[in-house]
Chains A and B, each alone.
Chain A
Amino acid sequence: MIADLPSRPGGEGRELLRTAGLTKHFKLGGLFSSRYLHAVDSIDLAIGENEIVALVGESGSGKSTIARLIAMVYKPTSGEIFHRGRPLSTLRSRRDVLEYRGRVPMVFQDPYGSLSPVYHVSHGILRALKLHRPDLSKRGREQEAEYLFESVGLAPAREFLAKYPYELSGGQRQRIGFAQALACRPELILADEPVSMLDVSVRIGVLNLMSSLRRRERISFLYITHDIAGARYVADRLIVLYAGKIAESGPVEDVLAHPKHPYTQLLLSAVPDPRAPVSLPPTPEVQEPPRVINPTEGCRFRTRCPYAIDECARVTPPLRVLRPEHEAACHVATSDLEGAEELAHDQLN
């Protein structure tokens, strides 16, 4: 399965992780306040073996919250996360939790903040190995750390191991973040905007690293980003998030070619692409996603949507399958489809 392109073998194999109705609310204000920020609401997603799923959204969409829920940094307000069929809420003992953390580690966004400035850069890896690979001796750990550094492209590893974070560039530090995640022999890596804070010319290297890890080590990724173009480059499937809910999800090429949700369409039109001809979309007053506090029923995108109808203000649109494996949560898109189906049905008869 060796190819030059970050190819798409597809989501074959078993399901690694699934969320059901995952919800997280944060309380705003003091002890007696009743205002809740709805960071994510009723998220159902699944990630299989050997698959890169991109979670795309702007700030406030809830994508980082989802990552932290899966990484067990936050506890869900409601809903459940299943790892290979086992609910995370049943993980009680330290050993179980540790094992999960080893299987599903996280890579962070900020290369300048994700490594402790007072230790060598190998500190995190050596600690991770100590916690997750108790079979290794001290010497074994050091050797494994060297091997991990080399496998993320930091060679000669011995020189890098003794460096301090400030001696390395952002791209190098991010690679160390991946090496730390690899130390635990993971199945699924949660990558929270791993390249957003890197220079453009360095990003591709890290994205290629993700692709090659998936291809050769069969590690799945949940790639969280606001950059659709980067998501297209590495991912098999795309999930578009808006204001804490899934707007659209499906195979990446299909979603890009046939975006069903108006928000996806807006996002795609806003992506600057030097090779594309310029198009000036209309500029409504509201340009940013809302902070969702104690929301009412109805589609959260309706205030910015050029197609909004009455139903959008009354009923929260559920995710419906509109094309093979491709769903969107939009009343208008659904009724379009139903209308077309009726038409086709009529024409057949």
Chain B
Amino acid sequence: MIASPAQTVLEVEDLCVDYLTERGAVRAVDGVSLDVGRGEFLGIVGESGCGKSTLLFAIARLLSPPAQISSGRVRFEGRDMVSMNEKELRRLRWREYSVVMQSAMNALNPVLTIGAQLKDVIDAHERLSSRDVRQRSEGVLKLVGIDPEHLRSYPHQLSGGMRQRAMIAMALVFTPDLVIMDEPTSALDVVAQRSLMVQIKQLQRKIGFAAIFVTHDMSLVSHFSDRLAVMYAGQVVELGATRDVFAEPKHPYTVGLMRSFPSIRGPLQPLTGIPGAPPDLAHPPAGCRFNPRCTEVMPRCRVEEPELYAVNVKGTYDQVRCFLFDPRAAREGPE
């Protein structure tokens, strides 16, 4: 499902992000390319150290030293964001795109009421009369299912789930075209998590914003995202329609991940997970980064790095970074 240019809200092209440490540059994001269409929900899934949060920060242009974008492009509605300065970015921020952080509950100022914080956000980006500010604040709270009387509440008076929804309300106050979310539900219990996800999806359908949702928990996005990108060791290893990725995972890592979720329904099956641990990005393994842990490893994998290969799935293309799907190898036959 490749969105046509006119409908593309975000285009990331070959993005590389490095952390400059004393021992040299460590590449946290290595050549990531993806795009998000208007109104599309893209899930980015990966475990710790895969670079998904760094990728998110880079897209939102929120990186701070020692991290920096060393190459690649991020185009938001056609405009190149990497080359913009702070002033230009500020015009875009919050109105065209907004960000919801992980553990947003701690990002709320404990000494200001919700209403005051919403007002701050609004004032920072637009000049509105106080009546308009109030109207918009009430409107956006109602949108996320919080009683507008909580404008007068302090963050500690709200439950964790409500605080998270307040953060989402803040992110939506200017009805941006793109909302970037970094594990916004991870600090919540499972019931609150579920209801928040449902709410986010409903909001998305209603307002029509595109969403990028980063999480370590695949099952969380399984029902909500249109497309899914799986990241490992700084690279995208699989990218495709969520349905397809779940029904038929291709990359051995994705397959392994899917096998790591015990289920409460159906027969009890022995699971194996994925032995080993993600590589140290300062010293990645030679060849394919997943090869030390891969069950399908071939000699080639230890030497060459695979690219993203397009795999035809029911008329659309999924992308897989694995030699098993190298079309040239298929043509040439086994070595």
Contact = CB atoms under 8 A, between A and B. Distances in A.
A contacting B, Cβ–Cβ less than 8 Å: yes
Interface of A: 4-6, 58-59, 169-172, 199-205, 207-208, 226-230, 232-233, 256, 266-276, 278, 280-281, 283, 286-289
B330 interface: no
Given A267-B191, A270-B191, A201 B273 contact: yes
B260 A283 contact: no
B172 interface: no
B135 interface: no
B262 A200 contact: no
Contacts of B111: none
B257 A273 contact: no
Given A6-B270, A226-B190, A288-B191, A276 B277 contact: no
Contacts of B51: none
B315 to A, nearest CB: 23
A229 B161 contact: no
8 contacts: A58-B189, A201-B273, A204-B260, A204-B262, A226-B189, A226-B190, A274-B218, A278-B223
A268 B190 CA distance: 10
Contact of B265 (A58, A172, A275): A275
A170 B277 CA distance: 9
B258 to A, nearest CB: 7
A241 B216 CA distance: 26
B219 interface: yes
A269 B159 CA distance: 21
A59 to B, nearest CB: 6
A5 B270 contact: yes
A334 B266 CA distance: 27
A272 B192 contact: no
A-B interface, 10 closest residue pairs, ranked by CB to CB distance from nearest: A204-B273, A233-B262, A58-B189, A201-B274, A274-B222, A169-B277, A272-B219, A199-B47, A270-B194, A287-B192
Contacts of A229: 261-264
Contacts of A280: 198
A228 B265 CA distance: 11
Interface residues of B, number: 46
A58 B159 contact: no
A286 B165 CA distance: 13
Interface of B: 47-48, 145, 159-162, 188-195, 198-199, 216-220, 222-223, 246, 256-266, 268-275, 277-278
Nearest to B202: A280
A200 B268 contact: no
Contacts of A283: 145, 195, 198-199
A335 B222 CA distance: 38
Given A5-B268, A199-B47, A272-B223, A58 B261 contact: no
A274 B246 contact: yes
Contacts of B162: 287
Nearest to B147: A285
Contact of B262 (A171, A230, A266, A289): A230
A169 to B, nearest CB: 4
Contacts of A266: 191
Given A201-B257, A287-B195, A271 B189 contact: no
Contacts of A273: 219, 261, 263-265
A256 B160 CA distance: 27
B284 to A, nearest CB: 15
Nearest to B221: A272
Contacts of B272: 204, 208
Identify the interface centre among A256, A270, A278: most chain B CB within 10 Å of its CB: A270
Contacts of B277: 169, 171-172, 202
Contacts of A226: 189-190
A271 B223 contact: no
A209 to B, nearest CB: 11
Given A199-B48, A232-B264, A58 B274 contact: no
Contacts of B216: 199-200
A16 to B, nearest CB: 25
Contacts of A169: 277-278
A124 to B, nearest CB: 21
A4 B219 CA distance: 25
Contact of B268 (A233, A270, A289): A233
B200 to A, nearest CB: 12
